[in-house]
Amino acid sequence: MTADDDGNVIYTDFIMFIDRDSMLRRIFYVIETDSGQKITLTAAHLVFVSRNSSSEAEKRMSAIFASQVQPGQKVF
């Protein structure tokens, strides 16, 4: 899944794991939403977020690393 230019969720094909090594141990982050939904991923996984703000510029969706997600951000 991904989002189009208007922020609508759309289906995309999954291509491959970019950074997979079964011999390496990694730290996983668990991101939980206000509604109780959870996602578990590595620090380097990209997540689309926006800020809960009255400013239109701050509401714009952007991709950041999971390790940079902060409380108060909206996760897509």
70 domain residue, yes or no: yes
pLDDT for 18: 62
2 domain residue, yes or no: no
CB 66 within 8 A of CB 41: yes
14 domain residue, yes or no: no
pLDDT for 19: 63
12 domain residue, yes or no: no
In the chain, the number of structural domains is 1
65 domain residue, yes or no: yes
Please tell me whether residue 3 adopts helix, strand or coil conformation: strand
pTM: 0.62
25 domain residue, yes or no: yes
Domain of 46, in residue numbers: 19-75
Per-residue pLDDT of the chain (76 residues; tens, 9 = 90+): 677 788 788 887 766 566 667 788 888 899 998 899 999 998 888 898 987 766 665 567 889 999 999 998 888 8
Terminal Cα distance for the chain, rounded: 10
